[in-house]
């Protein structure tokens, strides 16, 4: 097995798909950042990004379906009938918990509405203490 094959097998599909999409855009020169803006705020006002309300609403609706038991798992607002585990991540979390007598304290940057927590909660339930802290945009925090 080559290194690239190993990386492809260990990398979550959502990351691979995003990487391929971005790489294709760069090759096709579809994704350009240019313009003459007087300030950062002016450039931000002329752009769109992950802070779109539509993205938050789709993510919220999908996660509520998980929370209410209607579906098993969601990632980036896409619903799944089975959990797509990130085994290297889960192994790391459990290793840290084992080193800390079953206590786990996670700081999840860009954790959306807890997708990664919900993805792994079946394995985390029996730990004596789990704290999952998410650093996210203000609109996500409000939800």
Boundaries of every domain in the chain: 1-47
Predicted confidence at residue 100, as pLDDT, reads 95
Most confident of 50-54, 65-69, 93-97: 93-97
Distance CA 1, CA 3 (A): 7
Of the pLDDT bands very low, low, confident and very high (cuts 50, 70, 90), residue 4 is low
pLDDT at residue 55 tops 90: no
Instruction: Please choose, from the candidates 97, 61, 98, 101, the residue with its C-alpha nearest in 3D space to the C-alpha of residue 77.
Output: 61
Write the burial class of residue 112 (CB in 10 Å: 0-12 exposed, 13-18 middle, 19+ buried). Answer: buried
What pLDDT does residue 35 have? 81
pLDDT of 27 higher than 60: no
pLDDT digits (tens, 9 = 90+) for 84-132: 888 999 999 999 999 999 999 999 988 788 889 988 999 999 999 999 9
The pLDDT value recorded for residue 139 is 86
pLDDT of residue 81: 87
Helix axes 87-99, 115-124, angle to 10 degrees: 60
Q: Judge contact between 98 and 92, C-beta under 8 A.
A: no
Name the band, by pLDDT with cuts 50, 70 and 90, for residue 77: confident
* Burial state string for 60-82 with b = 16 or more CB within 10 A and e = fewer than 16: bebbeebeeeebebbbebeeeee
CA angle 31, 34, 36 (to 5 degrees): 160
Residue 40 has pLDDT above 80, yes or no: yes
Examine the pLDDT at 15 and tell me if it is beyond 80.
no
Report the sign of the C-alpha dihedral through residues 29, 33, 36, 42, in that order. positive
pLDDT score recorded for residue 28 = 55
Instruction: Give residue 95's pLDDT.
Output: 95
Strand 103-109, strand 129-135: pairing: parallel
pLDDT for 29 equals 54
């Amino acid at each position: 097995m080559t290194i690239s094959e190993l990386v492809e097998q260990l990398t979550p599909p959502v990351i691979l798909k995003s990487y391929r999409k971005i790489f294709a855009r760069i090759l096709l020169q579809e994704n350009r950042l240019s313009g003459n803006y007087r300030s950062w705020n002016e450039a931000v006002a002329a752009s769109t990004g992950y802070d779109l309300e539509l993205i938050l609403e789709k993510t919220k609706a999908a996660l509520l379906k998980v929370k209410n038991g209607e579906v098993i798992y969601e990632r980036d607002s896409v619903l799944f009938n089975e959990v797509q585990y990130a085994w290297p991540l889960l192994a790391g979390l459990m290793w840290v918990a084992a080193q800390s007598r079953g206590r786990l304290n996670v700081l999840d940057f860009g954790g959306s509405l807890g997708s990664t927590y919900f993805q792994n909660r079946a394995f985390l339930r029996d730990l004596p203490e789990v704290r999952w802290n998410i650093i996210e945009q203000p609109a996500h925090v409000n939800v």
